[in-house]
Amino acid sequence: MVPIPCCRPNNSCRSNNIRRLGSACIEANAVPGAIQHNKRMVSSEELAQTAMQAAHHAGFDLAGIAPVEREALPELHAFIEWVDAGHAGEMKYLETRTETGELRRVAAKNAAPWVRSMIVCALNYNADKPYSMDVNDPERGWVSRYAWGAKDYHDALLSRLRQVEAALKDAAAANDLALETRSYVDTGPILERVYARHAGIGWMGKNTCLINQKMGSWLFLGVILTSLELPVGTPAADHCGSCTRCIDACPTDALIAPGKLDARLCIAYLTIEKRGSIPVELRSGIGQQIFGCDICQDVCPWNRKSGNAPPTSLPEFQPKEGLYYPELRALAQMDEESYRQAFRGSPVKRAKYAGLRRNVAIAMGNSGNQKFIPDLESMARDSDPVVAEHAEWARKKIVP
- Which member of 186, 238, 262, 382 is catalytic? 186
- Residue 10 identity: N
Q: What is the pTM of this model?
A: 0.88
pLDDT digits (tens, 9 = 90+) for 202-218: 999 999 999 999 999 99
Alpha-carbon distance of 59 to 37, in angstroms, equals 29
Q: Which of 89, 88, 111 is nearest to 98 (CA)?
A: 111
Which domain, by its residues, includes 181? 36-130+151-226
Is the domain of 386 the same as that of 280?
yes
State which of 198, 226, 254 marks the end of a domain.
Answer: 226
Q: Which of 191, 204, 215, 193 is nearest to 60 (CA)?
A: 215
Is the domain of 157 the same as that of 300?
no
Is the domain of 338 the same as that of 372?
yes
What was the pLDDT predicted at 8? 28
Task: Confirm whether 40 is domain-assigned.
Answer: yes
Task: Confirm whether 76 is domain-assigned.
Answer: yes
pLDDT tens digit at each of 400 positions of the chain: 333 223 322 333 323 333 323 333 232 223 333 434 444 577 999 999 999 999 999 999 999 999 999 999 999 999 999 999 999 999 999 999 999 999 999 999 999 999 999 999 999 999 999 999 999 999 999 999 999 998 899 999 999 999 999 999 999 999 999 999 999 999 999 999 999 999 999 999 999 999 999 999 999 999 999 999 999 999 999 999 999 999 999 999 999 999 999 999 999 999 999 999 999 999 999 999 999 999 999 999 999 999 999 999 999 999 998 999 999 999 999 999 999 999 998 999 999 999 999 999 999 999 999 999 999 999 999 999 999 999 999 999 999 8
What was the pLDDT predicted at 230? 97
- Residue 361 identity: A
Task: Confirm whether 26 is domain-assigned.
Answer: no
CATH number (domain holding residue 191): 3.40.109
pLDDT digits (tens, 9 = 90+) for 355-384: 999 999 999 999 999 999 999 999 999 999
- Residue 400 identity: P
Alpha-carbon distance of 75 to 262, in angstroms, equals 16
Is the domain of 65 the same as that of 177?
yes
Q: Which of 63, 58, 104 is nearest to 195 (CA)?
A: 63
Provide the number of structural domains found in the chain: 2
Annotated active-site residue 186? The verdict is yes
State which of 164, 195, 226 marks the end of a domain.
Answer: 226
Q: What is the CA radius of gyration of the chain?
A: 23
Task: Confirm whether 51 is domain-assigned.
Answer: yes
